[in-house]
Amino acid sequence: MLPISYWRNRKIYTRLLGSRCKKCGAEFFPPVKVCKKCGSREMEELEMPKTGVLVSFTKLTEPSYEFEEYVPLYLGFIRLDNGVQLVAPLADVVEEELKPGARVEATVRKWAEDGEEGIIFYGYKFRVVKQP
């Protein structure tokens, strides 16, 4: 990731800032310029709900070079409580807990580092909600 790109998107990465159509109310993540439902260009910022369900997951052992320190990298196809879908890294994984339909919540974790001397990229990760 490019550090300036990270800076530009930091609110999207750490707060799940998306957008909502002022005309039809459709919600999107990441934010869009034009509503994919009604074509309106009048969009407003909206933070996504931080909870949802896991649809499917995978365990990546050959990521791009930027993530090699973090293998295995677990990724989830997540459907948030407002219906918005996204792919997100998973945190604190116990594989047996990664059942389709499992409740998940967003937190902020380290995504990667831009080398030993570079900046640290933080962003959303989801974890299974486990009531003690």
List the interface residues with another protein, window 94-113 (CB under 8 A). Answer: 94, 100, 107-112
Binding mask 23-42 for another protein (x = CB under 8 A): -----xxx-x---x------
Check: CB of residue 54 under 8 Å from CB of residue 102.
yes
Q: Report the distance separating Cα 71 and Cα 32, nearest Å.
A: 31
Determine the number of helices (DSSP H) and then strands (DSSP E) in the chain.
2, 8
Nearer to another protein, 20 or 124 (CB): 124
- Extract the tokens encoding 127: 């974890």
CB of 22 to another protein, least distance (A): 19
Q: How far apart are the first and last CA of the chain?
A: 36
CB of 15 to another protein, least distance (A): 7
Q: Report the distance separating Cα 65 and Cα 30, nearest Å.
A: 24
Position 114 contacts another protein (CB under 8 A)? no
Binding site for another protein (CB under 8 A): 1, 5-6, 8-15, 28-30, 32, 36, 55-70, 73, 75-77, 85-89, 91-92, 94, 100, 107-112, 119-125, 130-132
